[in-house]
Structure 1
């Protein structure tokens, strides 16, 4: 086994775990320990939500009704969130009994807090908050700011503050980038009934390439070909030969026994002329635009029936508390009692939100 594998400790399963790291993984972006991840994932996706739902049912706490499918979706989504958080949040080094104890402190404490009558509010409705609601929320913000100050100081002591602060600012992009997306979507709904038009532009480009022709060149070639073809007979004149001899004994007459044959030739020539003219007309620029326009009216969207408008809706930002504390859980990455306790509290609060209401999205559709 080489030196890199020895430092990895567990090889394939725990290759990103360094037991001898002086910073206990705090200064390392990625870390993983298989056994601790299994325990971490079970806590966040099964044990924690199960305890919360049982207590919520026993005391009739505020929650959404969930079917078996809803619980299954919560578990699958929770596994993805847990893996990302565990790998990038240094829980391979810090997850232990301290985090476990304070996890249930945060979970149960927040359950009791949101049952207060003046705390049954949502973040988007902050304009209607009462004095008690403002006092509790401002106190919570103050505690978060104080804890953030300590974590910034610990990052400075560990020597990776130049990474810690930019990554924290980058993490807040999940909020302000969502606001920008909502504004962009609402603008497109108001001013672009066909959406951004990227798909329509690509389809238009494909149709342009498929129906592209050189109509002037085609028409010129047809004119030249028609001018060089010899006219052996006058379409209006019929030659008859009553004696069945060669043409020297015959007489020209507008009528004769060959009328059906000549009429068939005239009809064929007329049909050929009309077909040529129709093909020429199809090659004009205006008709080509009409063909493309008709094709563009029937794009294949499975969720849009013919004649119906596109399913475009306005969206608002609805920030949920589970999202806020989930983001904070990435930065409680230090091997100290206080940091581990903070990690447990924010994880417990995040679990309360996802267990009670589900992993709701930040963008909420209007109407």
Structure 2
């Protein structure tokens, strides 16, 4: 089932992972040649392919300069190496690749529908079609989540505990972001810590300029989910192809949003 047939034989002074013997419960694994295969399969080939097809058929994409393409490529390798190491992608199979490409362009076709041209901050004004799409997507994610938790229970304890608790990592960053936004927008923490009287609180000027707004992009959601599709079971490998495709569609069509204007409104 394994796509990558590289093996580590003989002396191994660098301590490279052997793809054939890496357990599904491994916290991290890395092999440089397998990582190159990974990036070729899921970025270096699909990225220019997507941009060419999108231009040919008039799909919505962000106009990029060569500098922006280069910047996104460097970011893709940065994000990719983290995902590869901690997502156990040394165990990726041909099923993941076969699933990836139809899902990449299938997601693009869905995103081109008029009802899908919206975003999470505009949830109150979503059309009916977008709500149906959203609920179907959430249902699929929950089904895959249940299957993956079941697969985690098949491994030796306490792996399933670590596996489920890993969700606390993105939850922590999301909570911290919400609290930061609340602090900047309402001067909440400073006024609470100082225990001012109501009169003093009204006189206290906020040190912040402008306001913040949280905008979670779909590629960020699916990038996080890609860390959990680490099992060799075919269902998990299909799930890996789906989440990688949804993640990469956002990068191919748009870009990595890391500048201030992407988060501040």
1:297-312 superposed matches below 5 A: 312=209
How far has the Cα of 1:318 moved from its partner? 0.2
Q: Equivalent residue of 1:142, what SS?
A: helix
Cα distance in 2 for partners of 1:114, 1:143 equals 17
TM-score using structure 1 length: 0.61
Cα distance in 2 for partners of 1:185, 1:48 equals 39
Cα distance in 2 for partners of 1:183, 1:43 equals 41
2:65 corresponds in structure 1 to 67
Match of 2:110 among 99, 113, 118: 113
How far has the Cα of 1:33 moved from its partner? 2.0
Q: Equivalent residue of 1:31, what SS?
A: coil
1:332 corresponds in structure 2 to 229
- Cα pair distance change 1:14/1:107, threshold 3 Å: farther
Alignment partner of 1:355 is 2:252: yes
Structure 1, unaligned runs of 5 or more: 1-6, 193-309
1:13-162 superposed matches below 5 A: 15-17=16-18, 19-20=20-21, 24-93=22-91, 95-159=92-156, 160-162=159-161
CA contact under 8 A between 1:44 and 1:82: conserved in structure 2?
A: no
1:170 corresponds in structure 2 to 169
CA contact under 8 A between 1:64 and 1:356: conserved in structure 2?
A: yes
How far has the Cα of 1:15 moved from its partner? 2.1
CA contact under 8 A between 1:45 and 1:78: conserved in structure 2?
A: yes
CA contact under 8 A between 2:182 and 2:188: conserved in structure 1?
A: no
Q: Equivalent residue of 1:135, what SS?
A: helix
RMSD: 2.4
TM-score using structure 2 length: 0.83
Alignment partner of 1:346 is 2:243: yes
- Runs of 4+ aligned residues of structure 1 deviating over 4 Å after TM superposition are 7-10, 188-192
- Cα pair distance change 1:116/1:13, threshold 3 Å: farther
CA contact under 8 A between 1:25 and 1:31: conserved in structure 2?
A: no
Q: Equivalent residue of 1:158, what SS?
A: coil
How far has the Cα of 1:178 moved from its partner? 1.9
Cα distance in 1 for partners of 2:20, 2:46 equals 28
- Cα pair distance change 1:68/1:165, threshold 3 Å: same
Structure 2, unaligned runs of 5 or more: 1-6, 192-206
2:194 corresponds in structure 1 to none
Q: Equivalent residue of 1:87, what SS?
A: helix
- Cα pair distance change 1:190/1:158, threshold 3 Å: closer
CA contact under 8 A between 2:19 and 2:90: conserved in structure 1?
A: no
Cα distance in 1 for partners of 2:99, 2:244 equals 9
Q: Equivalent residue of 2:230, what SS?
A: coil
Greater gyration radius? 1
Cα distance in 2 for partners of 1:90, 1:190 equals 40
